[in-house]
Structures are given as structure tokens and as C-alpha cells.
């Protein structure tokens, strides 16, 4: 798709570089009918790992041993924030990007994506979520205080968050159907005061979430009062979740 700085080279398991080159077979079945089968695959693609990416002062490895050196992310999965925002734009507004950047998705595919990118845990039938733990803003970092501030019914957030090793990221399209306000925003923050990675001691609550909430609200308040020559037509994003 032309995103030359994106790489997906690892599973979320401790594996060697050679093991990570293999994928399992995949089958989608509905009522005993095979919808899709993808055989096991092997990637022979080469990647440029010449630039070392070392983060932190120390880290815990997968055996829970403290290693007194930075964590090496050189061969980890990588996606630049700017590319992630363009991907979101390509999904939400495919007509706004060149044809080569558009995904081969049907109108039904887009509706499916919009639904599950914006559905809140309290609206999910399958799976069912315990909303005392998985509150509506659980992975909607912008604008609303985690577990404390309810999201108005007329606001929808279509987003893709990231949440690991002290990094919080979010790329979002936010639509207010009542006030005819829309905007896109992407941001990332690293909160790790002690410099130790993988110790589950990060300042998400003290620094990370408030950063996203304030940034989102500053932009929202600005968009509420900004003069527009044309009101946005956001009806296609107004979905039913029952």
C-alpha cells in the first residue's frame, strides 16, 4: 500500500526471527460452511534493521528477569503515527486519498468497520463486557475521563488505540451529530518515569490519559465555534448499535 516505514515482523509471543516468519493456517466457518481458507505461509521478505531502537534504562524480559540495559525494539513491529492517521483517513474517507491508498473494501465492509470501531463496550452483545471494568471510554483516550465522564449519545469516536510499554497512542475521527462537528486527531505519549520497561509501572492515570483528554477537548471546543462555509455531512457515520 506504499507505507514503506511500516513493518509487522513479530507475533505477540516470544519467538525467534525464523519462527516469526511462519503463520498458521486460517479458516473462517459459518454453520459448517467454509467461507475462507488461507494455508500456512512463510515470509521471505527482508527488512532493514540497521537503525537500533533502544528505549529505557532497564527492562524485564519474558522470564521476568530484570535486565540492566535498555529494551531493544529494533526488530519489533513498527508503524509511524503519521502513517496510522493516513490509514484511518483512507478507511473513513476513501475518496479523499489517491486510489492506490484505498483498501479493497465493499460498502458492507466499510459499514462493518465503522460499527466496530465506534461501538462502546456497553453496546456490545457478543462479546459481553463487564462495564465496571470495560467502561465506554476504556480505549477511547480523547476527551473523556477514563471511567468517570460519560460519553454523550450524540458523539461517536472511530479510533485505533495503542497501549504498551508506557506508550499510549490514539488515532481518531470524532463526530458530534448534534452540533455537526467533526475532526481527526492523532497523538502519542510515553510515560515511564523510572525508565524500566515491562514492570507495569507507568504513569497512565497521572499523565497519559489526562494528556489525551485535554488535547481532545481543546480541539473539540475549537471546532464547536470555528466558522465553516459548509456544514459537514456526517450522516453515513450515524449507525444503529442495537
Number of structural domains found in the chain = 2
pLDDT reported for residue 12 = 83
Tens-digit pLDDT profile for residues 185-235: 999 999 999 999 999 999 999 999 999 999 999 999 999 999 988 889 999
Q: How many CB atoms lie within 10 A of CB 200?
A: 8
Do 49 and 168 share a domain, yes or no?
A: no
Task: Report yes or no: 88 and 103 within 8 Å, Cβ to Cβ.
Answer: no
Which domain covers residue 230, as residue numbers? Answer: 79-237
User: What are the beta bridge partners of residue 78?
Assistant: 7
Task: Report yes or no: 224 and 154 within 8 Å, Cβ to Cβ.
Answer: no
Q: How sure is the predictor about 46, in pLDDT bands with cuts at 50, 70 and 90?
A: confident
Of the residues 54, 77, 100, the one at which a domain ends: 77
Do 158 and 204 share a domain, yes or no?
A: yes
Tens-digit pLDDT profile for residues 53-106: 999 999 999 889 999 999 999 999 999 999 999 999 999 999 999 999 999 999
pLDDT reported for residue 242 = 81
Q: Does pLDDT of 113 surpass 80?
A: yes
Do 119 and 14 share a domain, yes or no?
A: no
Q: Does pLDDT of 147 surpass 90?
A: no
Task: Report yes or no: 138 and 120 within 8 Å, Cβ to Cβ.
Answer: no
Of the residues 77, 93, 110, the one at which a domain ends: 77
Task: Report yes or no: 79 and 6 within 8 Å, Cβ to Cβ.
Answer: yes
- Global confidence as pTM: 0.90
Do 61 and 101 share a domain, yes or no?
A: no
Q: How many CB atoms lie within 10 A of CB 136?
A: 20
Tens-digit pLDDT profile for residues 155-181: 999 999 999 999 999 999 999 999 999
Q: Do the domain assignments include residue 242?
A: no
pLDDT reported for residue 148 = 80
Handedness of CA 177, 181, 186, 191 (dihedral sign): negative
Do 63 and 112 share a domain, yes or no?
A: no
Of the residues 9, 43, 77, the one at which a domain ends: 77
Q: What would the mean pLDDT of 106-129 be, rounded to a whole number? A: 94
Do 88 and 6 share a domain, yes or no?
A: no
Instruction: State how far the Cα of 94 lies from the Cα of 230, in Å rounded to an integer.
Output: 20
Amino acid at each position: 500500500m506504499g507505507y514503506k516505514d511500516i513493518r509487522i515482523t513479530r507475533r505477540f509471543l516470544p519467538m525467534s526471527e525464523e519462527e516469526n516468519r511462519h503463520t498458521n493456517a486460517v479458516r473462517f466457518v459459518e454453520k459448517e460452511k467454509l467461507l475462507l481458507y488461507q494455508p500456512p505461509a512463510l515470509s521471505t521478505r527482508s527488512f532493514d534493521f540497521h537503525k537500533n531502537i533502544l528505549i529505557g534504562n532497564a527492562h524485564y524480559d519474558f522470564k521476568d528477569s530484570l535486565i540492566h540495559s535498555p529494551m531493544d525494539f529494533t526488530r519489533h513491529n513498527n508503524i509511524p503515527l503519521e502513517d496510522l492517521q493516513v490509514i484511518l483517513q483512507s478507511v473513513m474517507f476513501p475518496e479523499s486519498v489517491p486510489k492506490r491508498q484505498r483498501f479493497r473494501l465493499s460498502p458492507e465492509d466499510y459499514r462493518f468497520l465503522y460499527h466496530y470501531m465506534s461501538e462502546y463496550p456497553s453496546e456490545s452483545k457478543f462479546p459481553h463486557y463487564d462495564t465496571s471494568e470495560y467502561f465506554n471510554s476504556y480505549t477511547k483516550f480523547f476527551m473523556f475521563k477514563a471511567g468517570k465522564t460519560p460519553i454523550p449519545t450524540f458523539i461517536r469516536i472511530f479510533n485505533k488505540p495503542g497501549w504498551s510499554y508506557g506508550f499510549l497512542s490514539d488515532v481518531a475521527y470524532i463526530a458530534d451529530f448534534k452540533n455537526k462537528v467533526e475532526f481527526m486527531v492523532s497523538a502519542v505519549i510515553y510515560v515511564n518515569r523510572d525508565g524500566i520497561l515491562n514492570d507495569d509501572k507507568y504513569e497512565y492515570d497521572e499523565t497519559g490519559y489526562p494528556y489525551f483528554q485535554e488535547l481532545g477537548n481543546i480541539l473539540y471546543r475549537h471546532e464547536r465555534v470555528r466558522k465553516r462555509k459548509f456544514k459537514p455531512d456526517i450522516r453515513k457515520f450515524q449507525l444503529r448499535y442495537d
